[in-house]
Amino acid sequence: MAAHSWKVSQYAMFFATLEEMNGAKIDWKSLYEKTINHDFAEVFIGDIKTPVKHASPELKQMLAHVEEKMMEKFISNEIPEEFQGIFFERMREGKDSTIEGRLLEFADKLDQFYEAFAELKRGNTDKEFVYMYQNALSKLLAIPLEATVQYFRTEILKDAVQEKTHIDIQALTNEVLTAK
C-alpha cells in the first residue's frame, strides 16, 4: 500500500505540474493529502484486487461502506477528540470533481494501467489482466484533464504500445481507442 500511495503521489505531482503549466490552479496541499491518504482504509480490509472489488456495483458499494465505517471507528477510538474532525475530512475519499480529485483518480488509474501492462509484458496474459489493462486505459482517456490525457496519449501510451510483449498490446489498445 505504501509503495502504491507513493507512486500515485508522484504521478499526481507530475500531472498537476503539467496542468498548472497549462493554466490550471492547483491546491497542492489538497492534492498531497488526497494522494497520500487515498487508500488508507485498506489498512483495515486489505487490498482487494480491482476485478474483484468492481465485480458488481453492490459489492463495490458494500466494501466502500465497510471501509468508511472501519475508518470512522479507528478515528473515533485512536485520534484525540480535538483532531477527529480534521482527520475525518483528510481521510475521506479524495476522488471528487475538483482538479485535485481528478488528478488523484488519474494517478490511481495510471498505476493500475502500469500494473496490468507489466503483467502482460511478463507474459501473464490472463483475461483478468487484459480486462484490467483495457478498463484502466478506457477510464484514463475519459478523465476530464485535457493536458494530462493528451500527454498520456502522445507520450506514455505511444511508448507502451511499442514495447515488445507476449500479447499484441497494440491490438488491445486499439480496441479501446476505436471504442471511444
The confidence score (pLDDT) of residue 46 equals 65
Please give the pLDDT value at position 56.
77
Residue 40 pLDDT > 90: no
- Give the ranges where the chain is alpha helix by DSSP (H): 2-21, 28-37, 42-45, 50-53, 57-78, 81-91, 99-121, 127-142, 146-151, 158-161, 169-179
pLDDT at 158 over 80: yes
Total domain count for the chain?
A: 1
Closest by Cα among 124, 120, 122 to 171: 120
| 167 φ, ψ (degrees, to nearest 5) | -130, 155
Range name among 12-16, 53-57, 72-76, 118-122 with the lowest pLDDT average:
53-57
pLDDT at 69: 87
Residue 1 has pLDDT above 90, yes or no: no
Supply the range of the domain harboring residue 174.
1-178
Most confident of the ranges 35-39, 94-98, 131-135, 161-165: 131-135
Contacts of 150 (CB under 8 A, 6+ apart): none
Answer yes or no: is pLDDT of 50 > 80: no
Alpha-carbon distance of 80 to 38, in angstroms, equals 21
The confidence band for 100, taking pLDDT boundaries of 50, 70 and 90, is very high
Distance separating alpha carbons of residues 38 and 33, to the nearest angstrom: 8
| Amino acid (1-letter code) at residue 27 | D
CATH number at residue 120: 1.10.3210.10
Q: Give the pLDDT of residue 110.
A: 98
Q: Is the pLDDT of residue 72 over 70?
A: yes
Mean pLDDT calculated for residue range 102-106: 97
Q: Which three cell numbers stand for residue 175?
A: 480496441
The rounded mean pLDDT for the chain is 89
The pLDDT value recorded for residue 82 is 96
